[in-house]
Amino acid sequence: MPAMTAVDADARAGAGTPGEAVGPLVRGVAVLRRLTEAGGTLSPSALERATGLARSTVDRITGTLGRMGYVRLDGRDVVLTPRVMELGNAYLAALRLPALLDARADALADELDESVSLAVADLDGIRFIHQATRRRALSVSFRIGDLLPAERTAPGALFATEWTEPDWTRWRERRAEDAQDASFPAVPPRAEPTNDYSSTSSSKPSSPGSCADSFTERVERARRDGWAVDDQLIEPGLVAVSVPVRDPGTGRVACVASVVSHTSRHSAADLRTSLLPRLRTAVRAMETDLRTAPAPEPGPAPAGLATWTTASKHELGRDFVESLARGLTVLTAFGEGRSALSLTEVARATGLSRATARRALLTHEHLGLVTARPDRTFALTPRVLDLGFPPLSRTTLPRLAEPHLRALADAVREPTALAVLTSDGKEIQYTAGAGTSRVLTVRIAVGTRLPATATSLGRVLLADSAAPLSPTLTEVRSQGYALVDEELESGLRSIAVPVRDRTGRTVAALNVSTHAARRTLRDVVADLLPALHTTAARIQQDLHTASRFTHVPPS
């Protein structure tokens, strides 16, 4: 049968599903996939058209996903939130490869000043699990979770060296049905159909982005050489060289490391001479890391999920699709040290009955998100990354914070802002903010710089410094917030709290500003500080989820 893609008719309409599959879960996954393909935002009416579902069904599904924190309503649009990345995080944590190898990939990118990626096989495609990109005007825009057709990539040729005959059959069928690669939203469609799926083809397409020789020939070359090159197979100008990282236990390809560049910097021939030797050295170090890594210690499994879904159902009634929520929580039962779980283990981790867990696992297996193993355990597949991960994997802290800043400003009816410390430590720079409709209000544009010592935001940021602190900053560190009264400008009062990353380091500060005539200093602390702490906690939760396997720039 053809390879399942993110635009499967089964996921779109629920047709042809097994008798025991959970229909609402199938439909909910389809909604998440459509949102992902659209870049993270769609209106309910657009979701209705994209999924073929009734508007009432779309509303119930998005309402349930909203209750789970996976989407939010922004005006008339449904928007993916960072919380949905916990599904992809479960797969990446269970895989372990990003945690073990991403530091090597990042170091190689820094050394070569080129983008470096790690990819795994996904049926007859390849899917990125790590990206270390360079910040340039012309840069690689692939994201963690993006799926590419094997035949248009260097990693694909390396993975295909291990394909069985059924794998090749599936690939040929998919290429025959989708010659333009329309089922791969992350890549530009082919300019014209090619016959590179034929092992006897001698056609040599003339366009740079077409396959310069047949895929089967490139696979044989990769088998012989132990490395592969992508010479503008994805699009003109993009070149890459790839080397397999082999599993020390089985000797099979665990993932593929690639250095990606542009023809203005390197030709394909130049990649082989100037970058391949260093890439091979890095891959040998990666394989050593895999061989010497200690066995993973299982992290804590999610707790109370069944109780939470039951309580939500009682509160919201038919507007909450409990079977969808429970089905998605099954994916979060997996993680580091829990890469393969039995039905009993899944039920225990989620608090669901064995029957409910079994139906959810069967549904996920049908959708390609879970695979059943010969030892009667289940494991997540790379397809879990289809559920919201790619569009959020390139987010920034200001983007994460903006909806929370708007909610805080609406709640306290005062302007809010997020800021970071400049590299010299003398100023703060505003990176996000939300205003109010008051006549007298604070309006400071994003990008504005102000003296750090004269602002509540700056004092919070400076208080996290390892340098000796002044009495004022010592007090800020002790109490966990900074209160500034009319020091920057007459009548202006502000209070700020830190925003911390996964390590506990302060990476930004969040504040609320007011006029002295509206609130006393006591009122500022009593009324605004609790709301600030709550908002900072929400931003931190999103930041911690989003940054587990991706880099989230603070500005």
507, 365: one domain = no
pLDDT bucket at 305, cuts 50 / 70 / 90: confident
pLDDT bucket at 517, cuts 50 / 70 / 90: confident
Residue 553 resides in a domain: no
349, 366: one domain = yes
Task: Give the integer Cα–Cα distance in Å for 280 and 530.
Answer: 53
Across 179-192, average pLDDT: 80
380, 499: one domain = no
Radius of gyration of the chain, Cα coordinates, nearest whole angstrom: 26
pLDDT tens digits, one per residue of 531-548: 999 999 999 999 999 999
Task: Give the integer Cα–Cα distance in Å for 132 and 431.
Answer: 23
Domain boundary among 277, 292, 307: 292
Is 501:509 a contact under the CB 8 Å cutoff? Answer: no
- DSSP secondary-structure letter at 317? G
Residue 4 resides in a domain: no
For 273, the domain range is 100-186+214-292
CATH number at residue 424: 3.30.450.40
Alpha helices in 250-396 (DSSP H): 268-270, 276-292, 305-316, 322-331, 343-350, 354-366, 389-392
Widest pairwise Cα distance in the chain: 82
**What mean pLDDT is reported for the chain?**
89
Across 134-146, average pLDDT: 74
- Look at the block and give the residue holding tokens 């009319």: 486
Is 240:259 a contact under the CB 8 Å cutoff? Answer: yes
Q: What one-letter code names the amino acid at 475?
A: E
pLDDT bucket at 442, cuts 50 / 70 / 90: low
The pLDDT, as a whole number, for residue 488 is: 76
Nearest-5° Cα angle at 282, 281 to 284 = 65
CATH number at residue 360: 1.10.10.10
Residue 385 resides in a domain: yes
The pLDDT, as a whole number, for residue 512 is: 96
pLDDT tens digits, one per residue of 199-226: 333 333 334 334 434 899 999 999 999 9
80, 112: one domain = no
Say how many C-beta atoms besides its own lie within 10 A of residue 45's C-beta: 11
Compute the CA torsion angle 524, 526, 528, 531 (nearest 10 deg).
170
The pLDDT, as a whole number, for residue 341 is: 96
Across 347-354, average pLDDT: 93
428, 483: one domain = yes
Share of the chain above pLDDT 70, in %: 91
pLDDT tens digits, one per residue of 23-41: 999 999 999 999 999 999 9
273, 157: one domain = yes
471 burial type by CB count under 10 A (0-12 exposed, 13-18 middle, 19+ buried): exposed
In 161-289, DSSP assigns E strands to 228-231, 238-246, 253-262
Residue 400 has pLDDT above 60, yes or no: yes
The pLDDT, as a whole number, for residue 93 is: 96
The pLDDT, as a whole number, for residue 99 is: 96
Task: Give the integer Cα–Cα distance in Å for 549 and 472.
Answer: 37
Of 230, 255, 326, nearest to 95 by C-alpha is: 255
- Look at the block and give the residue holding tokens 């690639």: 258
288, 416: one domain = no
Domain boundary among 292, 326, 353: 292
Share of the chain above pLDDT 90, in %: 75
Across 270-298, average pLDDT: 94
Residue 2 has pLDDT above 60, yes or no: no
Of 550, 419, 552, nearest to 146 by C-alpha is: 550
The pLDDT, as a whole number, for residue 230 is: 93
In 136-262, DSSP assigns E strands to 147-149, 228-231, 238-246, 253-262
474, 529: one domain = yes
3-state secondary structure (DSSP) of residue 481 = coil
Task: Give the integer Cα–Cα distance in Å for 386 and 360.
Answer: 17
111, 177: one domain = yes
Across 305-328, average pLDDT: 91
Q: Rank 152-166, 178-192, 462-476 by mean pLDDT and report only the highest.
A: 152-166
Domain boundary among 247, 276, 292: 292
Residue 12 resides in a domain: no
Residue 108 resides in a domain: yes
452, 340: one domain = no
Provide the number of structural domains found in the chain: 3
pLDDT bucket at 441, cuts 50 / 70 / 90: low
Across 79-101, average pLDDT: 97
Q: What one-letter code names the amino acid at 225?
A: D
pLDDT tens digits, one per residue of 214-273: 899 999 999 999 999 999 988 888 899 999 999 999 999 999 999 999 888 888 888 889
Residue 415 resides in a domain: yes
Residue 284 resides in a domain: yes
Across 166-172, average pLDDT: 94
Residue 178 resides in a domain: yes
SS3 helix, strand, coil % of the chain, rounded to 5?
A: 45, 20, 35
416, 381: one domain = no
The pLDDT, as a whole number, for residue 3 is: 39
Joined together, the tokens standing for residue 38 give: 């659209």
pLDDT bucket at 433, cuts 50 / 70 / 90: very high
Evaluate the CA torsion angle 323, 325, 331, 335 in order and state its sign: negative
Across 5-30, average pLDDT: 69
Residue count (the chain): 555
Residue 9 has pLDDT above 60, yes or no: no
329, 468: one domain = no
